[in-house]
Amino acid sequence: MIKRLEVQTSSRTQLIDITSQVKAFLRSVAISSGVIVVYVPHTTCGITINENADPSVKEDISAFLSRIIPFDGPYSHAEGNSDAHIKASITGSSVTIIVESGALILGTWQGIFLAEYDGPRKRSILIKVIPG
Protein backbone atom coordinates (compact mmCIF):
# COMPACT_ATOMS: atom_id res chain seq x y z
CA MET A 1 0.00 0.00 0.00
CA ILE A 2 1.28 3.45 -0.95
CA LYS A 3 0.11 6.71 0.60
CA ARG A 4 0.53 10.03 -1.19
CA LEU A 5 0.81 13.13 0.97
CA GLU A 6 0.44 16.55 -0.60
CA VAL A 7 2.34 19.37 1.11
CA GLN A 8 2.17 23.03 0.14
CA THR A 9 5.42 24.82 0.93
CA SER A 10 5.39 28.53 1.67
CA SER A 11 8.91 29.75 0.91
CA ARG A 12 11.80 29.03 -1.43
CA THR A 13 13.81 27.13 1.18
CA GLN A 14 12.03 25.39 4.01
CA LEU A 15 12.22 22.25 6.15
CA ILE A 16 8.76 20.96 7.05
CA ASP A 17 8.29 18.34 9.77
CA ILE A 18 6.15 15.52 8.34
CA THR A 19 6.74 13.04 11.17
CA SER A 20 3.13 13.15 12.43
CA GLN A 21 1.73 12.42 8.95
CA VAL A 22 4.07 9.45 8.53
CA LYS A 23 3.11 8.11 11.98
CA ALA A 24 -0.59 8.52 11.16
CA PHE A 25 -0.19 6.49 7.97
CA LEU A 26 1.69 3.79 9.87
CA ARG A 27 -1.17 3.57 12.41
CA SER A 28 -3.68 3.25 9.58
CA VAL A 29 -1.97 0.20 8.06
CA ALA A 30 -1.46 -1.44 11.46
CA ILE A 31 1.71 -3.43 10.86
CA SER A 32 3.84 -4.54 13.76
CA SER A 33 7.25 -4.91 12.15
CA GLY A 34 9.03 -3.94 8.93
CA VAL A 35 10.29 -0.76 7.30
CA ILE A 36 8.67 2.38 5.98
CA VAL A 37 10.04 4.28 2.99
CA VAL A 38 9.37 8.01 2.59
CA TYR A 39 10.17 9.30 -0.91
CA VAL A 40 9.76 12.52 -2.90
CA PRO A 41 9.48 12.28 -6.71
CA HIS A 42 10.94 15.75 -7.26
CA THR A 43 14.38 16.99 -8.28
CA THR A 44 14.43 20.22 -6.26
CA CYS A 45 13.43 18.98 -2.82
CA GLY A 46 14.42 16.11 -0.58
CA ILE A 47 13.62 14.06 2.50
CA THR A 48 15.84 14.00 5.56
CA ILE A 49 15.84 12.92 9.19
CA ASN A 50 17.22 15.36 11.73
CA GLU A 51 16.52 17.04 15.05
CA ASN A 52 12.96 18.31 15.46
CA ALA A 53 13.18 19.63 19.04
CA ASP A 54 15.02 22.89 18.36
CA PRO A 55 13.78 24.91 15.34
CA SER A 56 17.18 26.59 14.99
CA VAL A 57 18.58 23.31 13.60
CA LYS A 58 16.33 23.65 10.52
CA GLU A 59 17.45 27.27 10.14
CA ASP A 60 21.12 26.28 10.47
CA ILE A 61 20.78 23.56 7.82
CA SER A 62 19.09 25.91 5.36
CA ALA A 63 21.55 28.74 6.01
CA PHE A 64 24.60 26.50 5.65
CA LEU A 65 23.40 24.97 2.39
CA SER A 66 22.67 28.47 1.04
CA ARG A 67 26.20 29.58 1.91
CA ILE A 68 27.94 26.66 0.24
CA ILE A 69 25.47 26.43 -2.68
CA PRO A 70 24.29 29.99 -3.38
CA PHE A 71 21.20 30.76 -5.43
CA ASP A 72 23.15 32.93 -7.87
CA GLY A 73 26.17 30.70 -8.43
CA PRO A 74 27.84 30.30 -11.82
CA TYR A 75 25.44 27.62 -13.11
CA SER A 76 24.62 26.49 -16.66
CA HIS A 77 21.07 25.22 -16.06
CA ALA A 78 18.69 27.68 -17.73
CA GLU A 79 15.76 27.42 -15.28
CA GLY A 80 17.51 29.40 -12.54
CA ASN A 81 17.18 26.72 -9.89
CA SER A 82 20.47 24.86 -10.14
CA ASP A 83 21.16 25.46 -6.47
CA ALA A 84 17.93 23.60 -5.62
CA HIS A 85 18.95 20.60 -7.74
CA ILE A 86 22.34 20.42 -6.03
CA LYS A 87 20.88 20.78 -2.51
CA ALA A 88 18.30 18.07 -3.25
CA SER A 89 21.06 15.75 -4.47
CA ILE A 90 22.95 16.26 -1.23
CA THR A 91 19.84 15.75 0.94
CA GLY A 92 18.56 12.74 -0.98
CA SER A 93 15.10 11.81 -2.17
CA SER A 94 14.16 9.16 0.41
CA VAL A 95 14.63 7.76 3.89
CA THR A 96 13.96 4.28 5.23
CA ILE A 97 12.88 3.85 8.84
CA ILE A 98 12.58 0.66 10.86
CA VAL A 99 9.14 -0.17 12.27
CA GLU A 100 8.93 -2.27 15.43
CA SER A 101 5.92 -2.91 17.67
CA GLY A 102 3.88 -0.71 15.33
CA ALA A 103 6.10 2.36 15.89
CA LEU A 104 8.78 4.22 13.95
CA ILE A 105 12.23 3.63 15.41
CA LEU A 106 13.51 7.21 15.56
CA GLY A 107 15.96 8.73 18.01
CA THR A 108 14.64 10.85 20.87
CA TRP A 109 15.08 14.14 19.00
CA GLN A 110 14.63 12.91 15.41
CA GLY A 111 11.94 13.94 12.98
CA ILE A 112 11.28 13.40 9.28
CA PHE A 113 11.44 16.51 7.10
CA LEU A 114 10.50 17.55 3.60
CA ALA A 115 13.39 19.78 2.51
CA GLU A 116 12.11 22.38 0.03
CA TYR A 117 14.74 24.17 -2.06
CA ASP A 118 12.67 25.66 -4.92
CA GLY A 119 9.38 26.76 -3.41
CA PRO A 120 6.80 27.70 -2.79
CA ARG A 121 5.32 24.63 -4.47
CA LYS A 122 2.86 21.81 -3.94
CA ARG A 123 4.93 18.67 -3.25
CA SER A 124 4.00 15.01 -3.27
CA ILE A 125 5.46 12.61 -0.74
CA LEU A 126 5.05 8.87 -1.25
CA ILE A 127 5.06 6.54 1.76
CA LYS A 128 5.25 2.76 1.56
CA VAL A 129 5.26 0.27 4.39
CA ILE A 130 7.05 -3.04 3.83
CA PRO A 131 6.05 -5.63 6.46
CA GLY A 132 8.86 -7.75 7.80
Ranges of residues in the chain with a pLDDT under 70 are: none
Task: Name residues whose C-beta falls within 8 Å of residue 19's C-beta, 6 or more positions apart in sequence.
Answer: 52, 104, 106, 111, 112
Strand order in the sheet with 2-8: 2-8, 122-131, 33-39, 94-100, 103-104
Which pTM was predicted? Answer: 0.95
pLDDT at residue number 20:
98
pLDDT at residue number 1:
82
Tell me the chain's radius of gyration from C-alpha atoms: 15
Q: Which domains does the chain have, with CATH numbers?
A: 2-131 (2.60.120.460)
Task: Judge whether 29 and 104 are in contact, CB under 8 Å.
Answer: no
